[in-house]
Structure 1
Amino acid sequence: MTKDYGNATESRITEVVNACQKYGSTSIIALAGVPGTGKSFIASIAAQRLTNEPLFVREIQFHQSFSYEEFIEGLRLDAGGGVETKPGIFLEWNQQALDDPENNYVLLIEELTRANIASVLGELMTYVEHRNRSFLTVYSRKPVKVADNLTIIATYNPTDRSAIELDSALLRRLRIIRFPPDTAQLKEMLANNGIQENVIGQLEGIFSVCRRDHPDDFEHLMPFGHGIFSSITSESPDLHELWTERIEHLLKRPLIEPHPFTTTIENNYPWRDIQYKTTSDN
């Protein structure tokens, strides 16, 4: 039985699933948003629903040293000291999809823009769109087609430097779904955690005031999303500890100018002070 996550969350899941079904055979479905906006959560659930089988979903995370050899194909030393070609993560998963055309497969890439994307993807940037054509891998020179039943879902932070520098060739292969902080999902999440309505309202207010005071920058500069509150199960001491252990460090770092939303958030986050009188104290 499929779990119901609430109307707001289910709406986002459905949006991603629909995009995958409509464009997943020609594009990379990319979920873009600042940290804590539920991109990974939604992407994982959407992938499971698209395939109807957890074993048909492969999750990986890009990082700065991730290479073409790891993703597509590389050279490895064999037991005898010789050199052999070895398929990377993509070619392995793509082959499974090619061998099983009756089922849907998903490759979920977290932190897409943390790697040198053009270098890692190589010729795949063209052939993820043109799946009726084969490309030759760099080392083995074997022809490969991207499986029609393989969908690539990716997540990324649009404020990462590498995301800002995305070239038009890659952007043409992306179907970008924006994931701003969502107060409707925040309300569902915290109500499920047993948080009282007035506290939820105060937390919703932080995002609303930031959007009001910084309308042009809110979506891509908000230092955190609603997901940062996912572990909150009580007003005190959770919200104070969240401030001192996480939020404060996102706003102010040594030798760096404070985040432009710092004053707005500080003025609307009463739990900064450990002496704050919580609802349970009244």
Structure 2
Amino acid sequence: MTGDDRPEFLLRLPGGPVKHRPRGVLLDGNGTNGSRKFLVRAGSAARDHVMPSLHKHFRGPFRRREELKEQGVLVPSSRWHGWLELTEDVECSSPSFAAVLLAGAPRNGWVEWRTEDGTPLGDFMTGVGSGPNRTWLVRGSNVAGLDLVRRLWLPEGLVTLAASRLRQGLVEGTSKEDLRTVVREDYESTATYSQKQDLVEALHAFLSRMKPGDTVCTISDGRFHVGEITGPAVQTDSEAGRSNLRRPVTWQDDGHPYEDLPEELQQKLSIQHDVVDLSAVQALIDGLGLTDEELAVEAESIERDPSEEIPAIAARRELELPEPTDELASELLVHDTAWLREVRDLLWDDRQLVLYGPPGTGKTYLALKLAEFLGGGPEQVKLVQFHPSYAYEDFFEGFRPQEDPETREVAFRLTAGPLRELADLASREGNRHIPHFMIIDEINRANLAKVFGELYFLLEYRNKSVRLTYSGDDFALPPNLFVIGTMNTADRSIALVDAAMRRRFAFVELSPRTEPTQGLLRRWLASRGMDGEPAELLDALNSRIDDADFRIGPSYLMKRGVYRDGGLERTWRTKILPLLEEHHYGEDVDVEKRYGLAALRASLPAGPTRTSAPSVAADGESPWFAAPVLGEGPTAP
């Protein structure tokens, strides 16, 4: 493009002189790494200050800016107070280099330079992808035993893709179907089926989806490097045929230690493909190496809605679990708020926790109420109950028969289970800072290795991802997804819980012999102004049970029916004694004589007791049951 055919582009500097916005043109020539050069016109304005960290992350534009000042080319403007001005044309290695030089802050030149009618510069490039700019990971640290990142990419400003057997003549914009045919023919006997599939995806991304202005990232020697694609894809022969597809890149000067990267970014980087779309975590990458203050300064120079939070700051905002309050402890009748805080801290540290104890100790009720408090409501909580036939396909994903609503035909379709649904909900934009909870009731009753499958690995390594069995997707557990399991110690299937399970979960006991369970029934009765005899009977009963795992929890006696006429005797005869008969099965024990109400009452100290039911309201319910009752409805322990 020459002469009058060359379009002129303008750069908006917020707060800058409107009538004399920076102007420039895209040149035909390429820089040393293949980037298209850009010429900034004399008379263009520039900011008189730069972002504090510009010299650290964008040394090239920063040094050029200082050189132009020393040469008298970038000088204080006599027309616009507080601004600088170019006295002559300046040639830059890329549109983004020019934009950063003038703005003194990171800029994507392919988007920021626009025509008078608002068309971005990137739209004038032929043969490239369309749509918003994206972020890509391209691996290059181990190609045929060489670290191309250190050897080639960083020093020469490139990113390459290994395709040594690929025929010449491929161009940008080649369709995936055409690439599939080419790869099938060119790699017919040298690659497996899955290797060919992966290569097609990588080639299509590199040739037809990437475009100038996109962010590109890579990992080498324990450091994460970030750059910007500045030109088209070129097919060339390289040393020993190791790579023959390349794009020019302007790399930032400093890499970031891998261990310091946010967990969500590490999850994406663990995906084992040569090319990975990282656009979902682009905001995290944009904020690397910058403080909130520096990001705020940068945001001031960009036209944006001031009411919206800066994306990079929002993305890095720490997930928080609220501190349990005295009000919550009072609602749950927990003896000490510090106990709830300890449970919260265990969840915060491990993100997986199991509440275990005998039946009736309020495990499920407590798990649900605590999860609703920490997550901000029941919408963020999902409950499932494990059982011996429960499988991976029920829990996570699998093929299920489904009827087509139009044809009425039944076919097997991939269906998400409760964990996949909750994980997808937790990872949605806007939900990433909201805790979500999966409650697994009776977690020890299923074959855990069978139910969790490859997800077992993710419970311990939250910063990794795995390839899913059915869908083939790369999946990681969102950082804001917590798991609370409940375990009945009276169920002999507890023996199925192996060391791997115990290593992945923190365990908290709920037992009638310890608080908060020990005094729960007494506190519950006192809160309703009721006689304490049921609590005394329960204590006497548990004192006669030698095996702590078979002691009886208080929730059996925290239900409305217990306090109607004959309710206590009925509950004792039909709920509690059968449990103890099963426990002593085959033993010569008279359960009624040892654990019956008559025997227990005879053992209690002499004093006033309630032997009759309390008065019943007109609706048939006792008046003190206005508050929720532990152990009833969907919150049964």
TM over 0.5: yes
Conserved? CA contact 1:73–1:137, under 8 Å: no
AA matched with 2:364? S
Q: Does residue 1:19 correspond to 2:346, yes or no? A: yes
Which of 380, 386, 390 lines up with 1:66 in the alignment? Answer: 390
Larger fraction in helix: 1
Question: Which shows bigger deviation, 1-10 or 36-45?
Answer: 1-10
Q: Residue 135 of structure 1: CA displacement?
A: 0.7
- Give unmatched runs, 5+ long, in structure 2: 1-324, 603-607, 613-637
Q: Residue 81 of structure 1: CA displacement?
A: 5.1
Quote the Cα distance in structure 2 between the aligned partners of 1:139 and 1:178: 36
Q: Does residue 1:247 correspond to 2:587, yes or no? A: no
Map residues 94-173 of structure 1 onto 2, 5 A cutoff. Answer: 94-99=423-428, 100-173=431-504
Corresponding residue number in structure 1 for 2:374 = 50
Q: Residue 17 of structure 1: CA displacement?
A: 2.4
Corresponding residue number in structure 1 for 2:540 = 205
Conserved? CA contact 1:16–1:46, under 8 Å: no
Q: Which has the higher contact order (CA 8 A, sep 6+)?
A: 1
Q: Summarize deviations over 1:29-76 as a string: whole Å, max 9, x none.
A: 000111101111111111011111220111111122211101111013
Quote the Cα distance in structure 2 between the aligned partners of 1:16 and 1:59: 19
Aligned-pair RMSD on alpha carbons? Answer: 3.0
Quote the Cα distance in structure 2 between the aligned partners of 1:141 and 1:259: 57
Q: Secondary structure at the match of 1:195?
A: coil
Percent identity reads 26
Q: Structure 2 vs 1, CA of residues 261 and 127 (structure 1 numbering), >3 Å: closer, same or farther?
A: farther
Q: Structure 2 vs 1, CA of residues 12 and 235 (structure 1 numbering), >3 Å: closer, same or farther?
A: farther
Q: Structure 2 vs 1, CA of residues 115 and 198 (structure 1 numbering), >3 Å: closer, same or farther?
A: closer
Q: Secondary structure at the match of 2:427?
A: helix
AA matched with 1:239? L
Q: Secondary structure at the match of 2:544?
A: helix
AA matched with 1:142? D
Corresponding residue number in structure 2 for 1:229 = 557
Question: Which shows bigger deviation, 4-13 or 72-81?
Answer: 4-13
Q: Does residue 1:180 correspond to 2:511, yes or no? A: yes
Q: Secondary structure at the match of 1:139?
A: coil
- Give unmatched runs, 5+ long, in structure 1: 272-276
Q: Structure 2 vs 1, CA of residues 241 and 115 (structure 1 numbering), >3 Å: closer, same or farther?
A: same
Q: Which TM-score applies when normalising by structure 1? A: 0.83
Question: Which shows bigger deviation, 42-51 or 185-194?
Answer: 185-194
Q: Structure 2 vs 1, CA of residues 133 and 18 (structure 1 numbering), >3 Å: closer, same or farther?
A: same
Quote the Cα distance in structure 1 between the aligned partners of 2:392 and 2:588: 35
Q: Structure 2 vs 1, CA of residues 12 and 268 (structure 1 numbering), >3 Å: closer, same or farther?
A: farther
Conserved? CA contact 2:397–2:470, under 8 Å: yes
Alignment: residue pair count = 266
Q: Residue 257 of structure 1: CA displacement?
A: 2.5
AA matched with 1:136? R
Q: Residue 147 of structure 1: CA displacement?
A: 0.5
Q: Summarize deviations over 1:157-180 as a string: whole Å, max 9, x none.
A: 123232112222222111111111
Q: Secondary structure at the match of 1:17?
A: helix
Quote the Cα distance in structure 1 between the aligned partners of 2:587 and 2:528: 31
Q: Structure 2 vs 1, CA of residues 269 and 8 (structure 1 numbering), >3 Å: closer, same or farther?
A: same
Quote the Cα distance in structure 1 between the aligned partners of 2:526 and 2:583: 36
Quote the Cα distance in structure 2 between the aligned partners of 1:161 and 1:248: 19
Conserved? CA contact 1:131–1:145, under 8 Å: yes
Q: Residue 22 of structure 1: CA displacement?
A: 2.5
Q: Structure 2 vs 1, CA of residues 10 and 246 (structure 1 numbering), >3 Å: closer, same or farther?
A: farther
Q: Structure 2 vs 1, CA of residues 115 and 199 (structure 1 numbering), >3 Å: closer, same or farther?
A: closer
Conserved? CA contact 2:444–2:496, under 8 Å: no
Q: Secondary structure at the match of 2:368?
A: helix
